Amino acid sequence: MRYKPDQGRLARMAVFWLVFLLVFYGCMALRYQLDAWTPDGMRAKLFALPVVGDVSWNVAVSLLVIPGLTAGLLIRYLNKAKIADFLIETEGELRKVAWPSFDETRRASIIVIICVIILMTYLAGSDFLLGRLFNRIWAFGA
């Protein structure tokens, strides 16, 4: 049975998709590793899908079975009372945050860019001048 399906829906959905996409990305890498490790006999076609094409054991395991099991386990895990309560509280706290407007964000970004340019100019000038100074000292001592 699902635990509080209407509460914390956005937080649980975000966690589900982030973890699922991370696992799916790993499964894509696993597929190519399995292609390199398996002998030719294991690469035989099992069945064909309209969009995917021929499906071998490597593709079936890495792109169908593991993501399917991951999705099922994630749904069960995210509907546990303790986890669901935590995500419900997290979403409630995020709703209380005073998010900056676009103009405030733009102004703050411009200030940061200007400060970075000033600091970059200072550090590059210091590096240049100290480099020349130490080269002259080195040349004078040699």
Same domain, 73 and 33: yes
Same domain, 138 and 85: no
Boundaries of domain holding 72:
1-97
9-37 helix and 66-78 helix, angle to the nearest 10 degrees: 160
Same domain, 66 and 93: yes
Same domain, 105 and 92: no
Same domain, 60 and 125: no
Residue 3 pLDDT: 61
pTM above 0.75, yes or no: no
Question: Whole-angstrom Cα distance, residue 23 to residue 73?
Answer: 12
- How many structural domains are present in the chain? 2
Residue 60 pLDDT: 80
CB-based contact 84:12 (threshold 8 Å): yes
Same domain, 65 and 122: no
CB-based contact 4:84 (threshold 8 Å): yes
pLDDT 10s digits, 2-55: 666 677 888 889 999 999 999 999 988 888 887 777 776 566 677 777 776 777
> Which amino acid appears at position 98 of this protein?
A
Same domain, 69 and 111: no
* Residue that is last in its domain, among 81, 97, 113: 97
Same domain, 86 and 18: yes
Same domain, 58 and 89: yes
Same domain, 80 and 112: no
Query: To the nearest whole number, what is the mean pLDDT of the chain?
Result: 86
Residue 1 pLDDT: 46
Same domain, 64 and 24: yes
Residue 44 pLDDT: 67
Residue 56 pLDDT: 75
Residue 37 pLDDT: 77
More confident residue, 41 or 73: 73
Same domain, 52 and 16: yes
